[in-house]
Amino acid sequence: MAKIFCIANQKGGVGKTTTTVNLAAGLALVGQRVLLVDLDPQGNATMGSGIDKRQLALTVYDVLLESASIMEAAIFADKCGYHVVGANRELAGAEVELVDLEHRDQRLKLALAQVQDNFDFVLIDCPPSLSMLTLNGLCSAHGVIVPMQCEYFALEGLTDLVNTIKQVHANLNRDLKIIGLLRVMFDPRITLQQQVSEQLKAHFGDKVFNTVIPRNVRLAEAPSYGLPGVVFDPPAKGSQAFVAFARELVERIPTM
């Protein structure tokens, strides 16, 4: 049965999409069957997997409105080794259209139930807000992976997310929990980052993943080639860190 994880953080630009595409590629590299679901109308995870969001016949929008199944909308990103249900600007309209529909927050969950056996992992790239789209992600997931930068206000931002997850857990999805916090764009030369990193570990204990993703320009360059860094430049430090993270996640599954 597929493990379904949301990559979420209410802040924009913290590394959600970079984490989603590189974790997907890393998991594929270690032999896992992976589906990436792009829930952000910006479509960055779609483009970053080498799929042109402007050329899509079917997207996650069609899945949410039940005019396509996951497998009908999924495209195999052959260079990356995983399947993608893509997104583009059309998805922004789903927010309004879903409001009047039944089970509006459960639509992705119902669609994913049909592909439970086709994948080992489903990774959902969430937009930076608590919208109906993010709610669909959180309702369908077993857990949340939270990428975060070790900055001064990082812990404060986390409080909101933790509260949101608690509410969804209490009211909508009893399975939902925080799988772990992933430290990203880490620069060990910056003392403040080390301090925040220590605070995170003190606060959240083993909810903080052991793997740390360094700041690495190759990870930032890769999307313009339509590839995750893991595929674009495998020896790069950032790419290696994401493969290590994929391994760590696979090892953690039995204990979840």
Minimum gap (Å) between residue 253 Cβ and ligand ADP: 24
**What residue is closest to Mg ion based on CB?**
17
Nearest approach, Cβ of residue 230 and Mg ion (Å): 17
Q: 41, 92 in Cβ contact below 8 A?
A: yes
Distance of alpha carbon 63 from alpha carbon 58, whole angstroms: 8
Where does this chain touch Mg ion (CB under 5 A) — which range of 9-17, 30-38, 108-116, 207-215?
9-17
Cβ 53 to ligand ADP shortest distance, Å: 14
CA 234, CA 238: separation in Å to the nearest integer? 9
Shortest Cβ distance from residue 198 to Mg ion (Å)? 27
Total residue length of the chain: 256
In the chain, DSSP finds a helix count (H) and a strand count (E) of: 12, 8
Contact pick of 2, 3, 14, 16 for Mg ion (by CB under 5 A)? 16
> Where do contacts with ligand ADP occur on this chain (CB under 6 A)?
12-18, 44, 128, 184-185, 213, 215-216, 219-220, 238
* Distance of alpha carbon 113 from the chain centroid: 18
SS3 call for 228: coil
Q: Among residues 17, 46, 134, 197, which is the contact residue for Mg ion, using CB under 5 A?
A: 17
Q: Is 206 exposed, middle or buried (0-12, 13-18, 19+ CB in 10 A)?
A: exposed
Q: Which of ligand ADP, Mg ion, none interacts with 14 (beta carbon under 5 to 8 A by kind)?
A: ligand ADP
Which positions lie near Mg ion, rule CB under 5 A? 16-17, 44
